[in-house]
Amino acid sequence: MLISRIYQISIKSNYYYENLAKMNIERKYFIKPVRGEILDKNGKLLAVNDIGFSIKIAPHLTKYDRTVKKRVAGDKLLKLIGGIVKEFPELNATKLTKKYVNKDSSYNHRYIPIVDFIAYDEMIGAYPKLSINKSLKIDSETKRTYPAGSLATHIVGYVGRSNLKENKKDAVVEKVGVIGKTGLERQYNKVLQGELGYRLVKVSARNKEVAEIEKVEPKDDQNLILNIDLRLQKRINELFVNQAGVAVVMGVDGKILAAVSYPSYDPNLFVGGISSKDWKELITDLDHPFTNKIIGGAYPPGSAIKMGMALAFSKAGTSLDSSEFCKGYITLGKSAHKFRCWSHYGHGQVGLRKAIRESCDVYFYNKALKTGINAMSKSLKKMGFGVKTGVDLPRERSGIAPDKAWKRKRYKQSWYMGETVISSIGQGYNLVTPLQVARYTAFLATGKLPTPQFVAEIAGTKVENKFSEFEVNRQHLNTIRLGMYDVCNHPRGTARRTMSHLPIVVAGKTGTSQVVSIPQGEKKRMKESQLDYYSRSHAWLTTYAPFKHPKYVVTVLVEHGGHGGSTSGPIAAEIYKWMANEGYFGKKFKGKIKLKDLSKEKLGGLHKHH
C-alpha cells in the first residue's frame, strides 16, 4: 500500500501538479467571435449584431455569514452595484447581487459577469466613471437583433441563451452563452458562431498580467446570404392579414425566394429570454404562430395531389388514355355508401386533361381502384411526398404517403378499398407540408425534383443546386400540364377567375382539403361560408409560370379558407403581379400591373377571422 501510494504521488500525479503549477503562472483568456450576419439576396439585414458592452466585477467581494451559513455580499460589492444601478436605473440591484454571489468562490480568480449587455449609446455617458474603477471590467459585447421583425421569423429563426446540455456539446457555445434555437440560426449555428480566439498571458502571484505569451484572433463574421427577397416576404405578409396560412415562392431550381407562415411572431422577444406573458400568448393562439407551417404544418393535400396520383397510375401500368364516366359518385360492391364527386351532378365522360381541369373526383376513384394503394404510395414518395424535402431548415416533417404496411404498423389494422378511394383525392391518411407541394409542382413543371434551398452563399461559398430524377411517361406529363393550364385559363377551370388575367401565363391546380367529413345524409353539400370557421376546409392553390418556360412556383394554402380558387387564388395572383412589376419575368412586364390591397377586401366572406 505504501509503495502504491508513493507511485501515485511521485509519478502518476506529476502531470496533474505540473499543470496546476502552470496555471499559477499562465492564464488563457478566450476571445468571443462575432456571430455572422444573415442577409437577403439584395443585401438587406435579417439578423445583425448590435454593439454594446458587458460589465464584470472582480472576484472575492463576498464573505461567509455564519448566522445564515452561506456567502453574502460584502460592503464593497454593494457599493459597486449601487454605483452601476445609479447609472442604469432599469437594472435591479438585488438580482445583480444574487448573480454575483452565486458565482463567487475562493477558487475563482476571474471577473464575474453581472450585466450581459448594455447598448453603446447608453454606456457612453457612464463609461468614464465606471472604467476608472479597477474592480469593474467593461468589455465590448454584441446582441443579436432581427431588423425584419416578424416578416421572416420562420426562416431566420432566433438565438437564445444556451443551457447546460448545449454547453457540454460545444466549447464555443459554452463561452459565448448563446446558440441558434430555431430556423437558419439553428441549422447553420456552427458556421455563424465562428471559432474562439484567445490570449495566453503570464501572471504574477497576485494575478496581475506580466506579459502576453500568445494571441490568436477568433474566426468570425461568417455570413449567410439567402435566396430570399425580403420585399416579397413583406408583400405576402400584407396579403395574409386576417387569415392564417402559408405561401411559398420558389424557383424551379429549388431556390426559395419567399416563404411565409402566417401569423408569425417577433424573434427579438427570445434573444434575452421571453417573458412568461408573451410565451403564453404565443402557445395559446389557435392559429399557431409559433409553428413553422412551411415545413412543420401537415395538411391533407386535397385535389392538389391529383397530378401526382395520375402519374402514379401511369407508372403502375393503369391506362390514362381511357376515360371514366362520372355520375357524381361511386359505390363499392353491395355497400350503399357513396364516394361522392365534388360536383353533385357529375362530369359525364372524363379524360385525363378534363379530370385535372375540372378536378373530377370519380376519375381518380376509378383509376385508384385499378392501381392499388401500394403502387400509388411508391410513386408519390419518388415525387417527394411522405419524405423530407432536404431543405436547409431543422425539424422538418416528412408527412404521410400511406400504404398497407404503414397502416399495419401505425394502427395494427388492415387496409380497406374505401381508403384507397379517398387517398386518390388527397384525403384520408395523406398529409403533406406546403414546401413538399411546392417542390412537387416544380417537378411537374420541369420533370426534375429540386432540393429546396434558403441559403445561396455560406461564408463566401456558393451553394450548388441539387436535383432528383424520377422517370415518368412524358406524354401523360404533358397532358397533365395542359390540364393545369386549363385550371388557370379555361372557362371551366377552377382558378380561371383569379389567374387568367395576369401578365404571364400560369398553370396550376386548386385543392380543398376537408377538416370535417360530409355526412352521407346530406344531399347537397353545405357551402364553406356556412360552416364554423375552424370547420371549413383548407384552400390550396399550387402554380408555376410562365407556362411554356417555367421559372417559378407559387404555392398558397389558406387555412380554413374554403376553396383554393376563390381564397388562395387572389393571393397567388397578387404575388405574380408583384414579381412581374419587379422584373422577375423580364423587363417587358415591369411597371405595368396594378397591385391590390387584399387585406382590405372580403373575398367571399372567408377573410373574416374568428
How big, in percent rounded to 5, are the helix, strand and coil portions of the chain? Answer: 40, 20, 40
Query: What pLDDT is stored for residue 4 in this prediction?
Result: 86
> What global pTM score does this model have?
0.85
Residue given cell 412586364 in the structure block: 589
Query: What pLDDT is stored for residue 273 in this prediction?
Result: 73
Is residue 534 predicted with pLDDT exceeding 70?
no
Residue given cell 404565443 in the structure block: 282
Is residue 323 predicted with pLDDT exceeding 50?
yes
Parse the chain into domains and list their residue ranges: 23-44+148-226, 50-144, 230-282+298-600
CB 17 within 8 A of CB 119: no
Average pLDDT rounded to a whole number, residues 199-227: 85
Is residue 136 predicted with pLDDT exceeding 90?
yes
First to last CA, the chain: 80
Task: Find, among 98, 20, 104, 27, the residue nearest to 64 by Cα.
Answer: 104
SS (H, E, C) 239-259: HCCCCCEEEEEEECCCEEEEE
269-291 burial by CB neighbour count: b if 16+ within 10 A, else e? Answer: bbbeebeeeeeeebeeeebbbbe
Task: Find, among 225, 228, 243, 359, the residue nearest to 293 by Cα.
Answer: 243
Amino acid at 14: N
Average pLDDT rounded to a whole number, residues 205-212: 74
Average pLDDT rounded to a whole number, residues 161-169: 91
Is residue 525 predicted with pLDDT exceeding 50?
no
Q: How far apart are CA 11 and CA 4, in angstroms?
A: 10
Is residue 18 predicted with pLDDT exceeding 80?
no
Higher-scoring residue by pLDDT: 276, 411: 411
The three three-digit cell numbers of residue 20, written as one number: 496546476
Q: How far apart are CA 463 and CA 478, in angstroms?
A: 31
Q: How far apart are CA 594 and CA 433, in angstroms?
A: 31
Is CATH 2.170.120.12 the classification given to domain 23-44+148-226? no
Place 10 in a pLDDT band, splitting at 50, 70 and 90.
Answer: confident
Helices (H), ranges, 447-591:
474-489, 496-499, 569-581
Q: How far apart are CA 576 and CA 353, in angstroms?
A: 25
pLDDT tens by residue, 547-601? 999 999 999 999 988 776 789 999 999 999 999 999 999 887 776 667 776 654 4
Q: How far apart are CA 514 and CA 535, in angstroms?
A: 8
**Least confidently predicted of 7-21, 65-79, 305-319:** 7-21
List the catalytic residues: 303
Q: How far apart are CA 461 and CA 464, in angstroms?
A: 9
Query: What pLDDT is stored for residue 244 in this prediction?
Result: 92
The three three-digit cell numbers of residue 406, written as one number: 404503414
Residue given cell 388514355 in the structure block: 321
Rounded to 5 degrees, what are φ and ψ at 266? -85, 115
Query: What pLDDT is stored for residue 247 in this prediction?
Result: 98
Average pLDDT rounded to a whole number, residues 601-610: 34
Higher-scoring residue by pLDDT: 563, 340: 340
What's CA 532's distance to the chain center, in Å? 29
Task: Specify the DSSP element, H or E, that contains 212.
Answer: strand 209-216
Between 434-446 and 474-489, two packed helices, what is the crossing angle to 10 degrees? 120
Query: What pLDDT is stored for residue 589 in this prediction?
Result: 77
Query: What pLDDT is stored for residue 259 in this prediction?
Result: 98
Fold of 230-282+298-600: Beta-lactamase (3.40.710)
Query: What pLDDT is stored for residue 207 in this prediction?
Result: 66
437-471 burial by CB neighbour count: b if 16+ within 10 A, else e? Answer: bbbbbbbbbbeebbbbbbbbebeeeebeeeeeeee
Higher-scoring residue by pLDDT: 506, 30: 506
Query: What pLDDT is stored for residue 262 in this prediction?
Result: 94
**pLDDT over 90 percentage in the chain:** 69
Q: How far apart are CA 167 and CA 149, in angstroms?
A: 28
The three three-digit cell numbers of residue 83, written as one number: 454605483
CB 164 within 8 A of CB 176: no
DSSP 314: H
Query: What pLDDT is stored for residue 205 in this prediction?
Result: 64
Place 279 in a pLDDT band, splitting at 50, 70 and 90.
Answer: confident
Query: What pLDDT is stored for residue 15 in this prediction?
Result: 67
Query: What pLDDT is stored for residue 206 in this prediction?
Result: 66
Higher-scoring residue by pLDDT: 430, 11: 430
Query: What pLDDT is stored for residue 208 in this prediction?
Result: 74
pLDDT tens by residue, 398-410? 999 999 999 999 9
pLDDT tens by residue, 471-516? 999 999 999 999 999 999 999 999 999 999 999 999 999 998 776 4
**pLDDT over 70 percentage in the chain:** 91
Query: What pLDDT is stored for residue 22 in this prediction?
Result: 58
Is residue 360 predicted with pLDDT exceeding 90?
yes
CB 50 within 8 A of CB 145: yes
Average pLDDT rounded to a whole number, residues 183-196: 96
DSSP letters spanning 33-83: PPPPPEE-TTS-EEEEEEEEEEEEE-S--EEEETTTTEEEE-HHHHHHHHH
Average pLDDT rounded to a whole number, residues 524-546: 71
Close Cβ partners of 23 (under 8 Å, ≥ 6 residues apart): none
Mean pLDDT of the chain: 89
Query: What pLDDT is stored for residue 605 in this prediction?
Result: 36
Query: What pLDDT is stored for residue 417 in this prediction?
Result: 96
